[in-house]
Structure 1
Amino acid sequence: MKARHVAVWFALLSLAACERGMHNMYDQPYYRPGAPSQLFADGNASRRPPWGTVAAASGSAAATSSGRRTETAAAYQLTDAGSYLALLQRGRQRYDIYCAACHGLSGAGDGMVVQRGFPAPLPFTDPSIMQASDAGLAQAIQRGYGVMYPFADRVNQGDGQAIVAYIRALQLSQHVTVSQLQPRDVVALHAAGVPAQHGGGRE
């Protein structure tokens, strides 16, 4: 009988200790950034982010610092056509690596992953994407959109802007008029036997 009573008292004391421990977890002190704390060996309450963490500004006040209010053309600050060509080349390279698997090489939403059953994204010629801002597209690359995985851990902001520039080039290639083409491009188009209205331009 005594042993049973001891066991009961031990169980009650254990529960009381657990409850006290839980309250300590609930009522934790609030530390401001850089405040001192005895919880850590360096005496500082602020901790370094885990390795691989991607900083992302949020909230309306952070729109400027995060680049969400900056349109592509302004963000690039390009001074000549050569710089823009280099940007497009970089954008194409990054696009082929990270985007083409789903969006396809032409942006039609028919990439190899889609051909194997992944939900097809909208083609870049869809009005909603044509009318989206450059900053909005760059944010989708960084943060993801719908079933699209966020690429902030592998595509930095500059490469994201380069990809957006290349997406705009893909859109333009499918909406350009023949009058906007260089004469040599018109000749090449006709030499390939492709009607202008089906080859990216239209009369």
Structure 2
Amino acid sequence: MTDDDTRRGYHHGDLRSALLRAAEEELTERGVEAFSLRQVARRAGVSHAAPAHHFGDTRGLLTALAAEGFHRFLAAQGLREAQAAPDPRAQLTAAGLGYIDFAMQRPALFRLLFGSDQPDFSDPTLDAAATAAYDHLRRQVADAGGDEVAAAAAWAMAHGLADLLSNGRLKAVAALPPAARDQVLMGLLEQSFPPPVR
């Protein structure tokens, strides 16, 4: 960090957070192909050396952003789960809706997590964040009476809907009022669930 960065009032934690915010803005506006540490620094209002000081290189910054992205992904699911009934199938449906919410609200970050080879998934922090997201799904599917195959089916359905909607496909569904769209999506998500436990 330079004296200029210190004069701007940053300390270690604030600068890191500011750089991650700027990185997501850069990713959203320019995409991963044109992503630049220098542009991130400019957006954050710091010296061009600041991102390298904190993250090493472009891949390091995208790796840190992806780890943060998985935390936000789980938070989006948690928001939906908090509004749903406590039974396992309702919670699983809510998690699927949160998955779709995240993709539609943060499409560039969604693509970084699930469609880019730029983040280093062998990084321990990113690996832990990605594993936590998948373990959350596995626990919910198990609570609903499903196995690993059922978890794969639930993931595939939620991810497919999220990907199509965040890329501007399924326009008829996207154009529905929010409550009606949720009903359609809930019906589709539930088709991938394991049979109800009797």
Tell me the TM-score range normalised by the shorter chain.
under 0.3
> Larger Cα Rg: Structure 1 or Structure 2?
1
Per chain length, whose mean CA-contact separation is higher, i.e. which structure has more relative contact order (CA < 8 Å, sep 6+)?
2
**TM-score for the superposition, normalised by structure 2:** 0.26
**TM-score for the superposition, normalised by structure 1:** 0.25
Q: More helix by proportion, 1 or 2?
A: 2
